[in-house]
Chains A and B, each alone.
Chain A
């Protein structure tokens, strides 16, 4: 059943109830199936396979003059390389393109699922998915930092030099908390919160439209229902922009963190 309709109170309740956290709770895919195998998990895997399929069809046998899927793939590749990788990684960009390209298209595909009919669920609105990606990037950043700059240099170079000794006591905790705890936290939460909020907003407005036009139509309620439908359409367009933007931001920050591991801050 459509999760939006499932959110409506059962038994034809008289009062409108806004959708809440139940939008994000799913039973196992089939009766007796494992508890973790739910709709978001299924579509996370479908998204990954889709990205693989598109990349394969675009780049498996590249021609000098690109046509069809290769054309499309190259537009995507150039976008990620020029807008995401090069500003942060410079001459190291090409080496990191496979990771960044996959990240960008995987997250974008996951996000777009929020507005695909029937699917209608942004995978990243379950925080586990962005957390896994953000933690992977975080571990990679620290590994690269220690490998390229050495353990001692990596952890000391980010601290400004030449300040009076007591200042370090005040500033070093801020620097470490910001770089090693808040950065990966906000990296994951930014994507999660945007997708979570976007899904709730879409669900709310479409439920307003459905409820006041079909479920409990009244003279006073119909204009509200029409407003709900119009807002659903407007917010769907807005959400599609946010979906792209968040995929872009997540990948951009990943490139920034990788860059900070490869080169010292100052």
Chain B
């Protein structure tokens, strides 16, 4: 962990960064793991993997946002 005290003007930047990054992370999670699920569905012929992949992708993206920005303590 590289926790270092930031100069005050950087605090707003972190918050705005987070706000603008969240939709992009959610979309990214859905594409990557939803895509993996879709491939698995095609390969096995079992349809259920696509929605499972999408949900896992969103879950992972939310988790990534949480560990990147949620622990921000100013």
Contacts and interface: CB of A to CB of B under 8 A. Distances in A.
Q: Decide if the interface of chain B is mainly helix, strand, loop or mixed.
A: helix
Contacts of B44: none
B39 interface: no
A170 B12 CA distance: 29
Contacts of B67: 160, 163
B32 A177 contact: yes
A261 B9 CA distance: 17
A146 B67 CA distance: 24
B24 A182 contact: yes
B31 to A, nearest CB: 6
A186 B68 CA distance: 21
Interface string B19-32: 01101110111011
A265 B3 CA distance: 11
Contacts of A265: 17, 68
B29 A162 contact: no
A178 B10 contact: no
B50 to A, nearest CB: 17
A87 interface: yes
Q: How large is the interface on A (under 10, 10 to 19, 20 to 34, 35 or more residues)?
A: 20 to 34
A178 B28 contact: yes
Contacts of B33: 170, 174
B7 A178 contact: no
Contacts of A39: none
A39 B33 CA distance: 43
Nearest to A253: B20
A235 to B, nearest CB: 26
Interface string B47-60: 00000000001001
A-B pairs, 5 with minimum CB distance = A178-B28, A90-B9, A177-B28, A178-B24, A173-B32
